[in-house]
Structure 1
Amino acid sequence: MSQSKAVEVRHVEIDSEAEGQRIDNFLVRELKGVPKSHIYRLLRSGQVRVNGKRVAQTYRLLAGDTVRIPPVRTSQRASEEKHVPVGKPLPVVFEDDALLIIDKPAGQAVHGGSGVSYGVIEQLRVQRPDVRLLELAHRLDRETSGLLIVAKKRSALAALHDMMREGRVDKHYITMVSGHWRNERQHIRQPLFKYLTSEGERRVRVQPDGKVAHSIVTLRRRWPSFSELGVELKTGRTHQIRVHLTHAGFPLLGDDKYGDFSLNKALARDANLQRMFLHAARLSFNHPLSGELISVEAPLPPELVAFRQWVGEQEVQDFGETL
């Protein structure tokens, strides 16, 4: 029989770092282990109050607000956080009091969910227990390696979201595709539509009524059968690079969702390519709080360098490399 514990009434004053957060998300973090459905009941019943008043679950907190959090009984087992191993320290490319930029390894999800018990952000919180706030500013696919921005201040997070929505964060990727890419520079503007497969898996396709998406593709190297490309994202849609290039007839090598599956199998066997060839190589943006220009790079990881060398044993045309 599980033991229970009661939490006394608490009154939490909101500081500038929590400002702008929705009250329901704030409570999820304050009441670890409590189901969201119960949190919504607390809000609807008025047991949670802000400055003595009822608020909707969509209310965004302001600095100076006082939140009343009622006693909530939960089983000890439910209130304990899922075990997240400390793991190896994640490579840090840039850090100050507002931002943390890491070089994410391929194969690691950025957050838990969809069958993944934990991801980069959960591991960072375990590794950095002294940091009050760690929140993802954007996402990378699980099999994509490279630069990932994590906010350490709520104000920086909100500003970064605005900057990304307005296209003020330059994001450059390196990929290798199947096929003979011809244009040295090409814009792809194809709307993208998200849907679920019959198995319930998330997918994206080009569709006229989809969301606006814009990628700029630059030819870096070309072999008889493969091309290495640089891609600058002007929008940040789910699976954007993968779907834009596959739709153009150039699937990413190693892509297990949209790629050439028979080719992937052969490359895994013959060249030990065990992952998707997609790397977030460069970020450039003005610091969301200071305005200072931040420009960071992450070199190709060893397994992609090794694959490039394997491909490079064939004849190659080099169009310039910066990373």
Structure 2
Amino acid sequence: MSPEILFSDESLVAAYKPEGWLVHRSDIDRHEHRILLQYLRDLCGSHLYPIHRLDKPTSGVIVFGKSGDIAARIQAQLESDTSVKTYIAVCRGYCPEQGEIDYPLPPVADFKHQRKRPKAELPRQEAVTLFRRLATVELPYAVDRYPSSRYSLVEIQLKTGRRHQIRRHFKHIHHPLIGCPKYGKSTHNRFFAEQFQCPRLLLHALRLEFDHPQTGTRLQLVAPPRGCFKTLLETLGWDLPH
């Protein structure tokens, strides 16, 4: 699946990022050749400046600035309450109907010199996630220790942007996301891969809203999930929020 430009003008470009693509080159995954920033630069023929990021296994809406100043102005919005960042995810169990997860998180230690430091020494940062449950399903499969297995479709809004925030927060409330090898549960990940042919993290950036940095017009950038995530929603009869 290839990226697609959703919106472009002289100031910015918004695109759909497929799962498995890096936003930009990184020493953490130096062998990955699917680099969204380079792909979009070649596609639109202009230099682009990263504003925010989506993890490699996450799909959905992402935006880049066409100048450093534009990128900084949009980034300031995304870090404030003037923007809306909406995700959808599938988690294990019936999560609460709605809630706020206010749980500070330490930085993710990606590099060896960071991992040498004891976790207790890493300063925790404010992290707030809002969510509401959209749908549930109980499947007649004994994936774990119960004769059937329950799952929830959840709409999520980020109030802060910490690394792996959604995945870590849902693990914290004991409803880990499906398809997450680091914070999820392998038995459920394997079940979705085999039963639904969906071997991916079920986390998708559905909608991004902010004011255009030059015109002030409210931009609402929406991209429904594609591929096996889309097929899964259809199979389970789950509708996306409007």
Q: For the superposition of Structure 1 and Structure 2, which TM-score range results when normalised by the shorter chain? A: 0.7 to 0.9
Q: Aligned match of 2:37 in 121, 125, 128? A: 121
| Cα shift readout 1:40-90 (whole Å, capped 9, x = no counterpart) | xxxxxxxxxxxxxxxxxxxxxxxxxxxxxxxxxxxxxxxxxxxxxxx95x3
| Residues 52 and 63, structure 2, Cα contact 8 Å, conserved in 1 | yes
Change beyond 3 A, Cα 1:214–1:268:
same
Q: Note the 1:153-302 alignment, pairs <5 A.
A: 153-183=67-97, 185-196=98-109, 209-224=123-138, 225-302=150-227
Cα–Cα, structure 1 residues 189 and 143, in superposed 2: closer, same or farther, change >3 Å? same
Identical positions, percent = 28
Cα deviation for residue 196 of structure 1 reads: 2.8
**Structure 2: gaps (5+ residues):** 139-149
2:141 is aligned to: none
- Is there any run of 5+ residues in structure 1 with no aligned partner, and where? 1-86, 313-317
- The one-letter code matched in structure 2 to 1:145 is S
Q: For the aligned residues, what is the CA RMSD? A: 2.6
Q: Work out which structure has the larger RCO, using CA pairs closer than 8 Å and 6 or more positions apart in sequence.
A: 2
Structure 1 residues 298, 197: CA separation in 2 closer, same or farther (over 3 Å shift)? closer
* Amino acid in the other structure paired with 2:86: H
Match of 1:111 in 2: 24
Q: TM-score, normalised by structure 1?
A: 0.64
Taking a change above 3 Å as real, the CA distance of residues 266 and 201 of structure 1, as seen in their structure-2 partners, is farther
* Partner amino acid, structure 1, of 2:103: Q
CA distance in 2, matches of 1:187, 1:235: 12
Once residues 229 and 54 of structure 2 are traced to their aligned partners in structure 1, the CA distance between those partners, rounded to angstroms, is 17
Q: Structure 2 CA distance, aligned partners of 1:208 and 1:280?
A: 28
Q: Could you say what secondary structure the match of 1:295 adopts?
A: strand
Q: Which amino acid aligns with 1:251?
A: P
Matched, 1:136 2:50: yes
Q: Greater CA radius of gyration, 1 or 2?
A: 1
* Length-normalised TM-score, structure 2: 0.84
Question: Quick check: 1:163–1:169 contact (8 Å CA) kept in 2?
Answer: yes
Deviations 1:241-284 (A, max 9, x none): 10001110011110111111122112212221111001100111
Q: Aligned residues, how many?
A: 225
Q: How does 1:294-313 map to 2 (within 5 A)?
A: 294-312=219-237
